[in-house]
Chain A
Amino acid sequence: MASVNAIKDDGDRTSLIYNPVVRGIVFQCVVFFGILALIYWFVQNTLDNLARAGRNISFGFLNERAGFDIGQALIPYSSDSTYTDALQVGLLNTLLVAAVGIVTATLVGFIVGIGRLSRNWLIRKICTVYVEVFRNIPPLLVIFFWYLGVLAILPQPRDSINLPFGSLLSNRGLSIPRPVWGEGAWLVGLAFVIAIAMAIFVARRASARQMATGQRLPVLWINLGLFVGLILLAMVVTGFPLSFDVPVLGAFQTSGGFAIGPEFLALYLSLSLYTASFIAEIVRAGIRGVGRGQSEAAHALGIRSGTTTRLVVIPQAMRIIVPPLTSQYLNLTKNSSLAIAVGYPDLVSVGGTILNKSGNSIQIVAIWMVVYLTISLLTSVFMNWFNTRVALVER
Chain B
Amino acid sequence: MKHIATGIISAAILSIAATAASAATLDDVKARGTLKCGVNTGLAGFAAPNDKGEYSGFDVDYCRAVAAAIFNDPNKVEYTPTSAKDRFELLANGSIDLLARNSTWTLSRDSSLKFNFTGINYYDGQGFMINAKKIPGVNSALQLSGAAVCVQTGTTTELNLADYFKANNLQYNPVVFEKLEEVNAAYDSGRCDVYTTDQSGLYAIRLSLTAPDDHVVLPEIISKEPLGPLVRQGDDQWFDIVKWVGFALVDAEELGITQANVEEMKGSANPEIKRMLGGEANSKFGTDLGLSEDWVVNIVKGVGNYGEIFERNIGAGSPLKIARGLNALWTKGGIQYAPPIR
Contact = CB atoms under 8 A, between A and B. Distances in A.
Interface of A: 42-43, 45-46, 49-50, 52-55, 67-71, 78-79, 148, 152-153, 156, 171-172, 250-253, 255, 262-263, 340-343, 345, 348-349, 352-353, 355-359, 361-362, 364-365, 368
Nearest to A361: B7
A54 B7 contact: no
Given A70-B176, A71-B175, 20 more contacts: A42-B15, A45-B17, A45-B18, A46-B15, A49-B14, A49-B15, A53-B114, A68-B174, A69-B174, A71-B174, A152-B186, A152-B191, A171-B189, A251-B146, A352-B3, A355-B85, A356-B88, A356-B154, A361-B11, A365-B7
Interface residues of B, number: 57
B14 A343 contact: no
B176 A71 contact: yes
Contacts of A46: 11, 14-15
B178 interface: yes
Contacts of B134: 156
B173 A253 contact: yes
Contact of A343 (B6, B135, B177, B189): B177
A171 B190 contact: yes
Interface in B169-196: 172-178, 182, 185-186, 189-191, 193
B7 A355 contact: yes
A152 B19 CA distance: 49
Interface of B: 1, 3-4, 6-8, 10-11, 14-20, 22, 84-86, 88-89, 92, 112-114, 134-135, 144-148, 153-154, 158-159, 161-163, 165-166, 172-178, 182, 185-186, 189-191, 193, 233-234
Contacts of A45: 14-18
Contacts of A153: 189
A46 B4 CA distance: 18
Contacts of A52: 20, 22
Contacts of A171: 189-191
A54 B190 contact: no
A361 B10 contact: yes
Contact of A252 (B112, B146, B153, B158): B146
Contacts of A357: 154, 159
A79 B154 contact: no
B190 A253 contact: no
20 contacts: A46-B15, A50-B14, A53-B92, A67-B159, A152-B189, A171-B189, A171-B191, A172-B148, A252-B146, A253-B148, A263-B175, A341-B182, A342-B177, A343-B176, A352-B85, A355-B3, A356-B84, A362-B10, A362-B11, A365-B8
Contacts of A50: 14
B310 to A, nearest CB: 28
Contacts of A368: 4
B162 A79 contact: yes
B80 to A, nearest CB: 16
A362 B174 CA distance: 27
Contacts of B3: 352, 355-356
A345 B176 contact: yes
A77 B163 CA distance: 14
A227 to B, nearest CB: 38
Contact of B153 (A172, A251, A352, A358): A352
A339 to B, nearest CB: 11
Given A79-B162, A365-B4, A252 B89 contact: no
Instruction: List the 9 closest pairs (A to B, CB-CB), nearest first.
Output: A356-B154, A79-B162, A152-B189, A365-B7, A46-B15, A361-B7, A359-B113, A252-B147, A49-B14
Contact of A53 (B20, B185, B186): B20
A359 B86 CA distance: 10
Given A356-B88, A359-B92, A340 B1 contact: yes
A345 B153 CA distance: 11
Contact of B173 (A43, A53, A71, A251): A71
Nearest to A80: B166
A68 B159 contact: yes
Nearest to B172: A69
